[in-house]
Chain A
């Protein structure tokens, strides 16, 4: 009846996951109870859960990322604590638990923190920057978000029902094959990534179509803000790379469920085929995450330097070069495979070449700051912190791109330090920069500056104290993923890293405080102008938060200049006393399709993990029924009548005009 599921699946003997699970469960129930008692449920359902508004979906993506960041961060704290303690002892985490933690940490941080954070920001900002009403496929957008949330849900369920993979975040066979991992851990891993991978693919198709086919009049490709370019590159990579992940995990699942022999040790299976396939996805994935961050830094640096981005066209070229070359370097993840010196040389050189366009970008940002009036607001702090940190991470990356060096450093903590150096210093700093930069646009009030700067400094300092010791330990020969060790000279570095972790925790606390304090003081932090940073692109030409239709009249981009003039003109138009000719606007209707799809996907994923076959069929039938019901809708859209558009827009204009005059800044 319930497949492999029984009471034995709940780890009553292990206090840590059980306690963590209980706390999370209580928190969820408390929030749900509060929502129901306060009567917020209809509001949540109509305004958020069924919303197809790209801004709302973007906010939900970012929220998901931040919640999962706390989960992945807790894993990190436990690992650093374990390695600080487990010198010539077992520490406090038994091996099978420790192995789940490092696997979950990597999986969560990449798939459920990095991905939703950047996709959320792209969702929120790109249609506004392009001057359009919504993304190309609003309902699919909602489906994509909810499928990502399904994946996150399954990973979290594994905390208390069953177990998570003990194989590392990429589940290399033969360890991940049924013979060596007979439990449900790898199945949790694979199904949650299969489901959220579909969600990511949908988001990628949506954003590429939006950038290429839905730009306001006059917004030619070379007038787009840099963030739109990096969004395009990143989502092209999603379309080309995520199907590889889907196919690879499908093969692994066929091995595990039906006894196929893709990656098994016997019957001709080929383990290295898995490595090649997974990294053919995995390396582009790195750029899927970091390219949007590069876009964010481009926006932030030029805004806070009060200058147009230096070398815009070279930046576009560098972005697209990275987009292409990122598919030609995957083998550097396993130089030790034994492909021979020629193959390794080709991939080593390609890996060094891809550093060139990245270097071009760094110089462009530096020259943008050069001679500008630089304002060190929180987003700019993150950007400058990124430049310093990312250069270091990039240099160690070029170092391990040299095959002979890689043979020594492969699988050591040096490598761990390197990729945290680029992912924290690049993606996470970028995400935080984007979060503080666009928060006022999304909600109409700024985040508290002082607390934001405190969060930056603690995270920045904590990062160095945590990860520089890992470089050193790696040089001393410490391999990654060690549950305990006996080498005395590694110990001090592990203790320093644990102290760094504490500093980073303080940074996280300030980040949470910043949000809480800013919400409480939202009246005094209110930004009525719609353009709190004196920004340079179209999203700042509308009110904050923007009306559901973004622009009462689509901006008309005529200038040849960089997007600064575009924004100035659009903003002037939207503020001047002469009103435009308001027309009716058709907007996509809200739809529960995404949520219902995700519900059935969750049921099906859970049933597949536990081999509950009748429930799998139920999920499939439900998904098809949802598809048909959605296809049978007669009214996909609703009309906002011209007088309503006019009413909303007039109120926004009046408020913004008043705020601008008060600030003594007529434009």
Chain B
């Protein structure tokens, strides 16, 4: 099975769909499987971003609703957030390295880059966990006010995504170890990379909207 394989076709091109000259208005027929998978995963990511946008909207609505409790300016430690950002952006870089090693079919570099991504991701989660437990210890848990409910839900949802991503990452490391760079596994790696980078994009929005805007209020 190669990248140019059509969906569900045996010998690459059973219906002679590829390489035929098309008229200008023509349509070449079903797209290759890699395109189909990537496209579907993009759609999933878009839906995920819609979900996040609801949490962003609720955060924006509830930002001032501190119910007499602490506000963002009193709670947020921007140095910690900067460290989290650095870890996550670096992990995106190592994730990019892993994608390149997949293209080069270099298993050793792939495993190293994925392991680095995993460690950086875990570091991010550790910092986030510390921040959350610190807030709860100071009596600023999610049940304190609507503002804190929205904060914990939005940032926690991102953290949950990172955790699931790490579980996925470990599964992909094991899969490549056991089965090598098979075409279907490469498609999954493509999806994983898209997912991991999308988490970065969402983090950038969290950094700006939640922490920067939040600590100004």
Contact = CB atoms under 8 A, between A and B. Distances in A.
B153 A260 contact: yes
A444 B157 CA distance: 49
A138 to B, nearest CB: 9
A352 interface: no
Interface residues of B, number: 53
A129 interface: no
Interface stretch (B24-32, B84-92, B98-106, B201-209): B24-32
B2 to A, nearest CB: 13
B8 A133 contact: yes
A238 to B, nearest CB: 9
Contact of A585 (B9, B39, B51, B65): B9
B139 interface: no
A583 B11 contact: yes
B48 interface: yes
Interface in B182-200: 184, 188
The size class of the interface chain A forms with chain B is 35 or more
A588 B33 CA distance: 13
A634 B1 CA distance: 12
Nearest to A242: B47
Given A220-B25, A628-B171, A213 B31 contact: yes
Interface in B12-40: 14-15, 17, 20, 25-31, 35-36, 39-40
Interface string B125-155: 0000000000000000011111101101100
A245 to B, nearest CB: 9
Contacts of A218: 26-27, 29
A262 B58 contact: yes
Contact of B14 (A132, A243, A584): A584
Contacts of B144: 267
A554 B20 CA distance: 15
A239 interface: yes
A216 interface: yes
Which of B7, B25, B31, B35 neighbours the largest number of chain A CB atoms within 10 Å of its CB? Answer: B7
A591 to B, nearest CB: 14
A9 interface: no
Contacts of B15: 217, 553-554, 583
Contacts of A296: none
Given A132-B30, A261-B146, A636-B184, A587 B8 contact: yes
Contacts of A260: 142-143, 149, 152-153
A376 interface: no
Contacts of A264: 146
A240 B47 CA distance: 6
A136 interface: yes
B29 A586 contact: no
Which of B43, B55, B65, B145 neighbours the largest number of chain A CB atoms within 10 Å of its CB? Answer: B43
A585 B40 contact: no
Contacts of A244: 50-51, 54
Nearest to A254: B153
A77 B31 CA distance: 49
A212 B39 contact: yes
B65 A217 contact: no
A267 B67 CA distance: 5
Contact of B142 (A217, A258, A554, A632): A258
Which of B30, B61, B67 neighbours the largest number of chain A CB atoms within 10 Å of its CB? Answer: B30
Contacts of A242: 47
Interface string B91-113: 00000000000000000000000
Contacts of A492: none
Contacts of B44: 205
Given A214-B36, A218-B27, A631-B188, 10 more contacts: A217-B26, A239-B43, A239-B46, A260-B143, A267-B144, A267-B145, A270-B61, A583-B15, A588-B8, A628-B171
Interface of B: 7-11, 14-15, 17, 20, 25-31, 35-36, 39-40, 43-44, 46-48, 50-51, 54-55, 57-58, 61-62, 65-67, 142-147, 149-150, 152-153, 167, 171, 175, 178-179, 184, 188
10 contacts: A133-B8, A136-B40, A214-B30, A215-B29, A217-B28, A248-B54, A268-B147, A270-B61, A273-B62, A631-B188
Q: Nearest 4 CB-CB pairs, A to B?
A: A268-B65, A268-B146, A217-B29, A247-B54
